A = this chain, B = another copy of it.
Amino acid sequence: MTDLPRFGAGLWHFASYVDRYAVDGYAPPVTTLEAIARAGEVGDLSVVDLNYPFTPGVGLDEVKDALKDAGLEAIGITPEIYLRKFGKGAFTNPDPAIRSAALDVMHEAAGIVRELGADYVKIWPGQDGWDYPFQVHHGHLWKLAVDGMRELASAHPDLKFAIEYKPREPRVKMTWDSAARSILGIQQIGLDNVGVLLDFGHSLYGGESPADAAQLLIDHGLLYGMDVNDNLRGWDDDLVVGTVHLTEIFEFFYTLRINDWNGVWQLDQFPFREDTIDAARTSIRFLKALHGALDVLDIPALREAQERQDAMAAQRLVQDALLSCMGTR
């Protein structure tokens, strides 16, 4: 048996949530420090990705202490460039002053990455894009997106910036929407400290094969990080991983394995109506079983079936491993 990977989670996994209907939130608010404590309670997490700014009144030293108490390290910082101020866009906001304000928040987040010794600034420009046909000049919008990322990343050559692409939400259409488009944009940026954080669910509901997206990013040297969850392929439901798409999540991790990609297995889930710690534990229980499935999978035979593109032979091998992985716990 190979060693287990390190597990991680976006800190928002342990928050409470609002949406456009439950405007009073599905649960009482949770502070940054409380969320860190909950993450620690899970028991199998090594790292977290923290939203920035922290809860008002919470200082960096408190966050450091809370992480230490919880036995956690920071893997990344996610600046909140999707709050009210940036509702019409961060990098692509029509107002230069707001674009500048967005960069300020991201520069601050870069400072926090240094302070916490994290791996990257995660950039998720959820408000960058458009809602209506004819709303934007697509060429201008894309240029703003690319130029802004270049300006940001070039200011911090010592740090890594991981763009998390997503097809849509909250904007009806987002600018950084797929693996291929992200690679294209990063080539236009022309810096070597910009890469991609691949979210399994974003890829799946965007019509990609997440395994194919991972391979493409790895082949371009751009897979800086990844996180997992699940959905019904029509929306970013951020369900608990392993609850719907078992075969495709297995193919995703298989692709990481054969490429010797050994980063953190991270959760990006929104357990709106579940106990957040229970949801995280259920996720990791599954991921451990899946890791075991990779150990028993007959990879040489699978590769041979794939060279023939023999789907039936491949599926039998996959089912043998996947559909027995809980039995070997």
Contact = CB atoms under 8 A, between A and B. Distances in A.
Interface in A128-174: 130-140, 142, 167-170, 172-173
**On chain A, which size bracket covers the interface?**
35 or more
Interface string A66-98: 000000000000000011100111000010000
A58 interface: no
A94 B311 CA distance: 12
A207 interface: yes
Q: Report the copy number of this chain in the oligomer.
A: 4
A211 B133 contact: yes
Contact of A282 (B20, B273, B306, B316): B316
A173 B285 CA distance: 26
A319 B20 contact: no
B178 A311 contact: no
A247 B239 CA distance: 14
Interface string A230-272: 0011110101101111111011001100000000000000101
A94 B322 contact: no
A129 to B, nearest CB: 10
Interface string A185-221: 0010000000000000000001101011001100100
